[in-house]
Structure 1
Amino acid sequence: MRLICFLCFWVVTGNAVLAQQYNFRNWTIADGLPQSNVVDIIQDQRMQLWVATLGGVSRFDGNTFHTYNKQQGLASNTTTCLFQDSRNRIWIGSADKGLTRFNGVSFTVLNTNHGLPAAAITSITEDKLGKLWVATDSGIYVWSGKKFNRSPHFPAQPYQVILPGAGGAMWAGSKNKGLYRLQQDKLQHFTSESYSLPSNNVTVIYAEPGTDNVWVGTTEGPAVVTDDKVTTLPLPPSVTDAAVSDFVKDGYGKMLIGLQQSGILKIDGDEIKHLTKANGLTSLHITSLYVDKENNIWIGNEGYGLQQCKAQWFLHFFELGDIKDPKITALAQDTKGRLWFGTDNGDAAYMQNGNLTMLEAKVWPPGTNLYGMWVKSEKDVWVSTSQGIWNLVPGKANHYTTAQGLPSDEVYTIITDTQGRLWAATSTGVAYLQGNTFHAVPVAGNYSFTKAYHLFRDGQNRIWVGTDNGIYRVKNNRLEKVKLLKQPFAGVMSVAADNNGWLYFGGYNYGLLAYHEKTGKAKLFTSANGLPNEGIKTLYTDRSNNLWVGTNNNVLKIDLPYFHQTQKLRFRSYGGENGFSGFEVSNNGITQTPDGKVWFGTTRGLTQYNPEMDRINTASPELMLTDISLFMRPTNWKKQGFKTDPATGLPVNLRLPFRKNHITFDFQGISMAAPAGVKYKYKLTGHDQQWSETTDQSFATYANLEPGTYTFKLKAQNSDGYWTQKPLAYKFSVIPPVWRREWFIGILLLLATGIVISVVRLREKSLVKMNALLEMRVNHRTRMLERKHREKELLLQEVHHRVKNNLQIVISLLNLQARHIQDPATKEVMQAIRSRVRSMALLHERLYRHNNLEHINLEEYFREICESLYAAYGVSEENVTLYLKIPDVTIDLDSAITLGLIVNELISNSLKYAFQDAATGKLGIELHQLENDHYQLMVWDNGIGAAEGLNQQKSFGLQLVASLTKKLGGEIKYENNNGTKFILYFVLPS
């Protein structure tokens, strides 16, 4: 038998179907709507919502309503319908004044002057050729581009709707004559009599996307037209008035039918759900339905404003039977998958197939806080409370307190081990039940804690304990402290594990700790490294390998496969903006039922998450600049003389004076799903090197901008992390002051250039005068130097002439003396002296005969020495041929005399000894430059050669040669082979 039968002595069952609360958001006149009767809704190309009311039209950007009425150019405040054509123009129908067309800048009224009747505009549409069709109270009209003409195909009568269908057909619904289809100029008429329409009063037509179905709404209910077949829909018994106001297909492919007096019908497969106020509708009087680009459902109400239904993957149970505003503190499920819960006020119940069964007669005192439940079987239920533990079995309820060994009556968690023993975590310690007595578990070592919040049994059947002083583990019936981090980690209120060997510990205000025992890895996540909220109250791993983290203000769904691969967090956060309206999740307040739905116990009741319905919003926000101001004050750009964009009021081609270089940009990223979740990045090219940090502020200020050209760029991210692909860009410039402008700088440059040219020219004139004067002085000095040079040369020539004459006198004296000498040896000596003096005289004679006193031609000099010696020794060149190979070198006077004396001695020696008895031969002098200033002088003959012992007994002449060689810093070598050869190596001064 069922559990309730076994426990009938204390359980009073009351089955009730629970109302599922959807995520609705409401806007009324207090929020900016011009009037509370919303008659039509559309969304433009910039994702802004347009809302038609009986008090004008509002453009809604997710935060603010911008209202247009007759003062802004509307034909009438009593609007009836809206339409956006293929050129993005907004058409607004009225009940009494025709049409108004808005092109993004201004309004244009089209009325009886343009062919429209003086009747209400009920519907506007456009065919595939771009032709505008209008339904009125007196017929169907078509816009020709200049005026409206009544369509001759449709009868002249009141119509409520006009709509294009598949294959170019045009559908029209009349107020009391049924439905019409115009195709290829052929009109087909559907009525309740001929085609079983629910009523001939057609209120709305909807062409279902992707099908040939045309949904028709009447005052007696909906029907579907497929080809020529009309099918009516059976309605739930709860629908008392079937008049249809609108159709729409949501993002899950479900058809929604708005009813004028009875709420909304939702067709889910074969099931038709009736949504009423119990599901969150503010009113049953539905006037319009619309699904925007982010799959949010918008609902227009009669007298109750505008509603938005979003995040349909969350359903809420804010009232549980007779329990108003329940605070769920205990959550569990039994072996049949039924969901059990308890509250902070002692209420207990379970849910099955949407039905609630309350436990009416409680065995615990009123106001007892239920912390946890464990349904061991249908006949064995355990409940941990603030007043101890109750075990409910057939016929009785066993109560365990400190009297039965519990460390405290405040018991937070209960679990069982592999031996079937019950373990309890209390406000003062941990204990396990053996028999009918609880035994406290001691703490090993010098560790201690005050409260044990949570017990968890992992895949290896080890029991982990979360306490206010960290993590403990049961080992040998003792609690051992587990240190996984160097820094403190406490307030552990929940523990969970996955199938990959990871354990997760939630530390309230300490963050999330992941630990892999096999590898020893421990990773702590806090607000510093990606965790948005450190106030973790409960953890749970579902069957889809997600880790759910319940915090004190939202819920995180962490992708565990991504964490296993990267050791980083990738998660989706659920809060009020994206459907999680339960606020704070209770301790141990998450579980998953066999149907895959995840349940949350919160401070506002129960919340159900359906993973099959979850959708990520991939529509990035639509960006727009809302204002540009100077010095953070409202700026009237027109009054300041700037041209403005008529659509936005923002300046065009903005060029700011250099003193107005403090600019603020106000902007908005339009996302109807979660306006408050939009975040931004921006940068000012020409000023910023990179994008700003992500921020939720919708303005950016730049002060003290330097003159130049800038482009403000903006990106936005929706609440699911999708960024705009193309940034918004606004280009402007700051004009430099007069003294920094190009034309002013050009004038300055011209002036400076003129001044420089004038100065240069004056300087040139001065330099010309100075150059002329200097030239005169230089010429004068040159003439004086030349004169002195000539005088010097003349003086030197005279000196050399006198030296030569004096040497000639010496030679004459030597000749006179030689005449009186009879001794041959003495004569020979006198002749040698005379030849030596003669060689010096020849050099001085050459110097005073030539103008160049610095350059001495050695070849001519050596030739004259040889000619003098040939004459002195009576040798002719016919007998002894003279070979000279002397390069053109520059030599100073002293070195020339030295070389001349050496050559004189060596040639004299050859003429005296080499050629005996008038023998013929050759005599040569060769000078070679070896490297740099090093030279080689060779004097050779091919005579009879020198006598043996010449090197040991040198003559005076050879001694003189050796001495002169040392003077030149050189050395001399002697060869005696087929004649004699003297080789002199020396260095000439550079």
Structure 2
Amino acid sequence: MKNTILILLTVFSLSLNAQNIFPVKLDNCKTDKFCLDCGDVKAGYEEQEFLKLQTKLQESLNLTGIKGAVKFQVLIDSKGEACVLSHTDQSKNPISLKIIEELDNFKKWTPAITAGKKEEKSSITMIFSINENKIIGKIERVDISSFKRSFDKPTSPEIFNKTYNYKNDHLKNYKITVWNAKNSNLPNNMNDNITVDKNGLIWLTVDEGLVTFDGKDFKKAEQNITDKGKFFSYYAIASDNNNVKWVYGTKNIYSFDNTKWTKHDSTEIGIDGAYEIINNPKTSEVFFCSDEGLTIYKNGKWSNINKAKIKELPSNRVTYAKRDSKNRIWIGTFSGTVMIDENGKATNFENTSTVLKGKCITSMAEDENGNLYFSLYEFERKEKGKVNNDEGIAISYANGIIKQFTTENSGMPFNHTNCVVYDKNENVIWISTDRAGLIRYDLKDGWENYHNENSDIPTSYISTMTLDEKGNLYLATRQGLVKIEKR
């Protein structure tokens, strides 16, 4: 199983997960996770059957006087079925629409294969050229190295809130330090997952790698019990109460006890991957969120929560889960959010009128008063293609009231958030986004927004973040590792 959130959470690992790469995006594909032109054997088509498709287009289209080319991103699943994700023709020309129709209906695609197994979903680029009344289609393979390099540069922040005045009065109180591939021995700048262990050592996933950071040097921390082959990467990480590191690597769950690595048999634990791995300090549980529900590890034993056991669970596809101080488990799925209380009673928020209806929680933090903070994803979006959706953050107060904060009613600069962290030392919520940088909210009425155009933070894209025991905030970004500490 591969990690995706990526698309759903607009966070993607360039080696593994991808997004719609062309400007005209279509909504006819399920794109929760897929890889970009991946595989030992890449996805393609049966040549003779594709020639028939090309001939059909040639005979059915009027190509007189037309010259040009259009690129199509095609998603191919393990069964050889496909759909068009995106393309380059912003004019909605009938020829492009006809090509899309034929590509969607074509039944002779061949799936990508990695290590002898078919990839669940892979996207390829097709280019159709028209010249001298002839149409020719072919695959244009993606140069992954060039594609990665295109993302190794900061993008300008996109601030959708045009009414809030960001004074950023507290920015001067922070020292911001950045480690990247140019000023340190960090292997590359593509950092997506981070945890801090009991020794204060930072564990960081980098593109196709895993490193530790002691404040001075980055060191490789690769698992050494599985042959990496042509491709191996890491997609989720957490450190538990016993200082054991839990990692999802390609097709396997691993643990590291600071002496040796252990690979956990998927037939025994019930999963071969995870969207997120979350440690619960008060209960010594480690949560693994996957397509098989919520898998729980505690005291050497594995258990699972799924729809067969909890009928109120909206879906087995769990993207995030965490236990709060009242012993309640909050679970975000791709079909909604559920809360299981201390007595085992489950509440499906799709059956409520709260702001969590239609939302999937993607991270959670709690303050000393029992107030909960959630980042949200709107899984059934009312407007297809809309960027600033009905998301933002939600606060579930200790008295049971749940309130949502968006660009419409607060100082949120952008509504899609990746992570929320509560800083008890300052009594603030830190919120990361993938377009507007970092948000500081003082829980009253003070909203601040830091990004690469008004601070030393090198990017507007922040994947996730964590606090160490000293209260320093670390950001995993696409421009390296960032540390924010109080002066």
Asked whether the 8 Å contact 1:329–1:369 carries over to 2, the reply is no
TM-superposed deviation, 1:383 = 1.8
Instruction: Indicate the SS of the match to 2:399.
Output: coil
Partner of 2:334: 468
Match of residue 370 from structure 1: 235
Correspondences of 1:314-713 after superposition (within 5 Å): 314-319=176-181, 322-345=185-208, 347-360=209-222, 362-364=224-226, 365=228, 366-378=231-243, 380-393=244-257, 396-416=260-280, 418-433=282-297, 438-443=302-307, 444-449=310-315, 451-475=317-341, 480-482=347-349, 483=352, 485=354, 488-508=357-377, 509-530=389-410, 531-542=412-423, 543-562=425-444, 569-579=445-455, 580-586=457-463, 589-612=464-487
Q: Hey, what's the Cα distance between the residues in 1 that align with 2:275 and 2:222?
A: 22
Going from structure 1 to structure 2, the CA distance change for 1:420 and 1:596 (only over 3 Å counts) comes to: closer
Counterparts of 1:762-773 in structure 2, within 5 Å, are none
Cα-to-partner distance string for 1:706-732 (whole Å, 9 max, x where unaligned): xxxxxxxxxxxxxxxxxxxxxxxxxxx
Corresponding residue of 1:69: none
Q: List aligned pairs for 1:216-235, cutoff 5 A.
A: none
- C-alpha distance in 1 between matches for 2:224 and 2:472: 29
Shift of 1:419: 4.9
Residues 1:361 and 1:496: Cα distance change in structure 2 (over 3 Å): closer
Cα drift, residue 538 of structure 1? 0.7
Shift of 1:577: 1.0
In 1, are the aligned partners of 2:313 and 2:338 still within 8 Å (CA)?
Answer: no
Q: Distance in 1 between matches of 2:305 and 2:245?
A: 24
Q: Which amino acid aligns with 1:339?
A: I
Aligned position for 2:93: none
AA at the equivalent of 1:356: F
Question: How much has 1:413 moved relative to structure 2?
Answer: 1.8
Q: How far did residue 395 of structure 1 move?
A: 5.5
C-alpha contact 1:384 1:414 (8 A) present in aligned 2? no
**Aligned partner of 1:600: which letter?**
L
CA distance in 2, matches of 1:536, 1:435: 33
User: If each structure's helix is expressed as a fraction of its own residues, which one has the higher value?
Assistant: 1
Aligned to 1:956: none
Secondary structure in 2 aligned to 1:576?
coil
Shift of 1:418: 4.8
Q: Distance in 2 between matches of 1:576 and 1:417?
A: 34
Aligned to 2:68: none
Shift of residue 487, structure 1, vs aligned partner: 7.1
Q: Which has the larger radius of gyration?
A: 1
Preserved contact between residue 321 and residue 331 of structure 2 (Cα < 8 Å): yes
Corresponding residue SS for 2:408: helix
The corresponding residue for 2:77 is none
**1:447 positional shift:** 4.5
- Answer whether contact 1:385 1:410 (CA < 8 A) is retained: no
What displacement does 1:572 show? 0.6
Decide whether the 8 Å contact of 2:332 with 2:338 is kept in 1.
yes
Residues of 1 paired with 2:258 and 2:356: CA distance?
50
Distance 1:393 1:551, change over 3 A: same
Q: In the TM superposition, what is the alpha-carbon distance from 1:359 to its structure 2 partner?
A: 1.6
Q: 1:545 to 1:435 in 2, by over 3 A?
A: closer
- TM normalised by structure 1 equals 0.28
Q: From the superposition, tell whether residues 429 and 590 of structure 1 become closer, same or farther in structure 2 (CA, over 3 Å).
A: same
Instruction: Give me the CA root mean square deviation.
Output: 3.1
Q: CA deviation at 1:437?
A: 5.7
Query: Residues 487, 416 of structure 1: CA spacing in aligned structure 2 closer, same or farther, 3 A cutoff?
Result: closer
Contact 2:180–2:479, Cα closer than 8 Å, also in 1: yes
* Cα deviation digits, residues 557-592 of structure 1 (max 9, x gap): 333341xxxxxx421101121122133222xx2112
Q: Report 1:143-162 matches (<5 A).
A: none
Normalising by the residue count of structure 2, what TM-score does the alignment of the two structures yield?
0.54
Q: In structure 2, do the counterparts of structure 1 residues 340 and 322 end up closer, same or farther at CA, with 3 Å as the change threshold?
A: same
The runs of 5 or more residues in structure 2 that have no matched partner are 1-171, 378-388
- Secondary structure of 2:325's partner? coil
Asked if structure 2 preserves the Cα contact closer than 8 Å seen for 1:413 and 1:453, the reply is no
Contact 1:466–1:472 under 8 Å retained in 2: yes
- The 1:357/1:377 distance shift into structure 2, 3 A limit, reads farther
List per-residue Cα deviations over 1:381-400 (Å, max 9, x = no partner). 22234523211236542222
C-alpha displacement of 1:314 = 2.3
Distance apart, 1:484 and its partner CA: 6.2
Shift of 1:439: 2.6
- How far apart, CA to CA, are the structure 1 residues paired with 2:367 and 2:438? 16
Instruction: Look up the SS of the partner of 2:458 in the other structure.
Output: coil
Question: What is the deviation of 1:363?
Answer: 3.7
SS at match of 1:538: strand
User: 523-532 or 388-397: which moved more?
Assistant: 388-397
Taking only the aligned residue pairs, the percentage that are identical comes to 18
Cα shift at 1:315? 1.9
Alignment partner of 2:453: what SS?
Answer: helix
Cα distance in 1 for residues equivalent to 2:344 and 2:225: 32
Give 1:422 shift: 2.9
How many residues end up aligned between the 2 structures? 294
Instruction: Specify whether residues 374 and 479 from structure 1 end up closer, same or farther in structure 2 by C-alpha distance, changes over 3 A only.
Output: farther
Hey, what's the Cα distance between the residues in 1 that align with 2:303 and 2:285? Answer: 11
Indicate if the aligned counterparts of 1:332 and 1:374 stay in contact, CA closer than 8 A: yes
Aligned residue type for 1:525: F
- The amino acid of 2:203's aligned partner reads W
Query: 1:428–1:552: structure 2 CA closer, same or farther, 3 Å change rule?
Result: farther
Equivalent residues of 1:442, 1:479 under 8 A apart? no
Q: Which runs of 4+ in 1 moved over 6 A?
A: none
- Partner letter of residue 367 of structure 2? D
Contact 1:344 1:367 in 2 (8 A): no
CA contact (8 A) 2:306 2:316 kept: no
Unaligned ranges ≥5, structure 1: 1-309, 563-568, 613-990
Deviation at 1:506, TM superposition (A): 0.9
Give the CA deviation at 1:481.
2.0
In 2, the alpha carbon distance for the partners of 1:383 and 1:403 equals 17
What's the secondary structure of 2:392's corresponding residue?
strand
2:213 is paired with a residue of what secondary structure? strand
Instruction: Check conservation: 2:438, 2:462, Cα contact below 8 A.
Output: no
Contact 1:582 1:606 in 2 (8 A): no
How far apart, CA to CA, are the structure 2 residues paired with 1:311 and 1:419? 35
The 5-angstrom pairing of residues 144-223 of structure 1 reads none
CA drift of 1:593 comes to 2.2
